[in-house]
Amino acid sequence: MINSNRGVILEDETINSKKISFNDYTKSEIIPFNLGLKKKKINDIWNRFIIRNPKAFPALLKKIGIQIDYIKKRKCILCENRLTFLGFFQINASLGLGKALEIWQNDSIEFYCPECSGEI
C-alpha cells in the first residue's frame, strides 16, 4: 500500500496496468448494473418451481425448518380476501425466502391483494 495525493494506492490491484487508488474504490457503484436482471432470474426460477408443483412449497419450507402453521394468516386490508405466503413469495422471490418471511410475519406491515393494489 502506498500513500499518494490521490489517496491510498493498493499495489496489487491494477486495471489495464493502471494503479487503482482507494478513492477509486469508494467512488465505484456497489450494486451491479444488472441487479434487476438477476432479481428477475431469481423470481423466474422460484415461479417455475412454485407453478409446477405448488404443494411442494410447504414441503420445502418444512425441510428447512419452517412449519406452515407458524406462517401468519393474512387478509387484504381493503377487501379482506385471503392472502397466502406462497402468493406473496411468488411475487417477491428476489428478496429471498428468509427476508420475504420476515416481512410477511411483521405485524407492522399490512398487505393488499393483487386486485386491490391496482386500485390504489
Q: What is the pLDDT of residues 9-61, one digit of tens each?
A: 344 444 444 454 444 444 445 456 666 777 777 777 887 887 788 888 888 88
How many helices and strands, by DSSP H and E, does the chain display? 6, 5
Read off the C-alpha cell for 91: 411475487
Q: What is the pLDDT of residues 109-120, one digit of tens each?
A: 999 998 898 765
> Which own/partner pairs from 99-103 qualify as long-range (CB within 8 Å, at least 24 positions apart)?
101/66, 101/71
Q: What is the pLDDT of residue 61?
A: 85
Query: Residue 7: which pLDDT band, with cuts at 50, 70 and 90?
Result: very low
Q: What is the pLDDT of residue 8?
A: 39
User: How far is CA 67 from its chain centroid?
Assistant: 21
Q: What is the pLDDT of residues 55-98, one digit of tens each?
A: 888 888 888 888 888 899 999 999 999 999 988 988 888 888 88
Q: How far apart are CA 14 and CA 84, in angstroms?
A: 50
Query: Residue 1: which pLDDT band, with cuts at 50, 70 and 90?
Result: very low
* Residue keyed to cell 423470481: 43
